Homo-oligomer: A and B are copies of this chain.
Amino acid sequence: MGDVTDTDWLVSLRRELHRRPEPAWCEFYTTARIVEELQALGVDDITLGPEILTEGERQGVPDRETRDAWLDRARETEVDDAVLDELAGGYTGAIATIEGGDGPTVALRVDIDGLPQREADGPGHQPAEEGFRSVHEGYMHACGHDAHATFGLGVVRAFADADFDGTLKVIFQPAEEVVGGGRPIARSGHLDDVDTLLAVHIGLDNPTGTVVAGMGGFYAVSHLEATFTGESAHAGARPNAGANAVQAMATAIQNLYGIARHGDGATRVNAGEVAGGTASNIIAEDAYIEGEVRGETTDLMNYTRDRAEQVIESAAAMHDCTVDIERGSEAPSAESDDAVADVVADVAADHGGVTHVAPTGELGASEDATYLMNRVQDTGGLASFVGIGTNHPGGHHTATFDVDERSLGVGVDVLTGTIEDLFRDEHDA
């Protein structure tokens, strides 16, 4: 093994996944396509979504209509309908397990969902130029999870027929973008025998050739959905008779972004999706804000959430509206263990394609891999979140995001080498 990855296979796989981005809990095609590949690689032990997602723990699941529409699209492709049937209801994702004999259990977690972001279509955007731009208009792999899934399959391929002492679990996690898939997997029991967990992310402003051995700085995050209800009225004849939900919403948005920064560390707030009203000549009766708050620590997130809720409630009261605030999915903070990061760093340092190894790094964002890391660490195991650099033209979550496909091989090699060492070290000890 080592630097012998079949790059063409990785690139082809990544592009195929890139063309069909699916949002959280709707990764029907993506899961089925991964399963197809796992079967082709000879993996017997494949556990699908319904068995890896603890009931009642999924966060941010869209409504049935949305799920069904995506399932219908998946059925139009050539993936296995029987697999799709099992995923119905949004039970996406899978775990591939490969038993190599006595030895430690090592898990690799990759996430697989896309984003509701329109993909760029101009010159200079490689997916558009080379024909693998998203076919799902308005949706895009704008955070590199197509590459992550490819990493997972690349690692499976490396171990599928190999001799090793231990057990490898590759977790293809759904719904990271809504921090929704981590918790139900963390609480499913599938991690309770894991000695070491690796999670991975591409890019993050690190260029191709850089590897970050163990990241920290995961923001705690919580989603909020506020639904304002006022009174409609004719906007010309009796505007005074209404209770304007759009005005309440706009006041809330302005003041959400104005929540005081905190002296103890970084916070974030975003009103990411908003809407209100039905016609230009009616005072709006309804409006909503789907947003999120983050904090460098859970306390900072809670501070921001408390302030956000106060802003929203006061904005509603100001405009004679009522408001219902639902707290959506959440994720905690986490830290990587140095012991694991050291192994990653050693392997990376020996790789020809790696020009810089950073021992640690700050994510400065949220990730529900933290649920899995915390679970493994709570049950006595270790964890590290690995960054694989890639030159990306646009920022994460933007229309021109793309990955440098040279990073695909680097990622698979570094992860594979690390897992080999983890099997070997444990065996030696």
Once the chains bind, are B261 and A268 in contact (CB under 8 Å)?
yes
Q: A239 to chain B: which residues have CB within 8 Å? A: 260-263, 268, 270
Does any Cβ of B come within 8 Å of A294's Cβ?
A: yes
Q: A253 to chain B: which residues have CB within 8 Å? A: 246-247, 249-250
Copies assembled: 4
Q: Nearest Cβ distance between residue A333 and chain B, in whole angstroms?
A: 12
Q: A397 to chain B: which residues have CB within 8 Å? A: 232-235, 281-283
Q: Nearest Cβ distance between residue A160 and chain B, in whole angstroms?
A: 34
Does any Cβ of B come within 8 Å of A92's Cβ?
A: no
Does any Cβ of B come within 8 Å of A50's Cβ?
A: no
Does any Cβ of B come within 8 Å of A103's Cβ?
A: no
CB-contact partner of A281 in B278, B292, B311, B398, under 8 A = B292
Q: A270-B280, A273-B276, A279-B272 are in contact. Are A244 and B232 (CB under 8 A)?
A: no
Q: Nearest Cβ distance between residue A270 and chain B, in whole angstroms?
A: 4
The docked-state distance in angstroms from the alpha carbon of A46 to that of B257 is 51
Does any Cβ of B come within 8 Å of A174's Cβ?
A: no
Once the chains bind, are A255 and B251 in contact (CB under 8 Å)?
yes
Q: A235 to chain B: which residues have CB within 8 Å? A: 268, 270, 272, 292, 294, 397
What is the size, in residues, of chain A's interface with B at 8 Å between Cβ atoms? 85
Once the chains bind, are A177 and B281 in contact (CB under 8 Å)?
yes
Q: Nearest Cβ distance between residue A100 and chain B, in whole angstroms?
A: 37
Once the chains bind, are B262 and A240 in contact (CB under 8 Å)?
yes
Does any Cβ of B come within 8 Å of A275's Cβ?
A: yes
Nearest neighbor of A278 in chain B, beta-carbon distance: B116
Once the chains bind, are B363 and A279 in contact (CB under 8 Å)?
no
Q: A250-B254, A251-B254, A258-B257 are in contact. Are A274 and B272 (CB under 8 A)?
A: no
Once the chains bind, are B236 and A247 in contact (CB under 8 Å)?
no
Once the chains bind, are A279 and B273 in contact (CB under 8 Å)?
yes
Once the chains bind, are A272 and B281 in contact (CB under 8 Å)?
yes
The docked-state distance in angstroms from the alpha carbon of A18 to that of B279 is 19
Once the chains bind, are B320 and A318 in contact (CB under 8 Å)?
no
Which of A223, A260, A267, A279 gathers most chain B CB within 10 Å? A260
Does any Cβ of B come within 8 Å of A57's Cβ?
A: no
Once the chains bind, are B266 and A258 in contact (CB under 8 Å)?
no
Does any Cβ of B come within 8 Å of A317's Cβ?
A: yes
Nearest neighbor of A310 in chain B, beta-carbon distance: B318
Does any Cβ of B come within 8 Å of A366's Cβ?
A: yes
Once the chains bind, are B274 and A246 in contact (CB under 8 Å)?
yes
Q: Per-residue CB proximity of A221-259 to B under 8 Å, as 1/0? A: 101100000011111111111101011011101110110
Chain A residues within 8 Å of B, Cβ to Cβ: 115-117, 138, 143, 177-178, 204-205, 219, 221, 223-224, 231-242, 244, 246-247, 249-251, 253-255, 257-258, 260-268, 270-285, 287, 290-292, 294, 303, 310-311, 314-315, 317-320, 328, 363-366, 395-399
The 5 closest A-B pairs by CB, nearest first: A314-B318, A257-B258, A236-B365, A275-B275, A250-B253
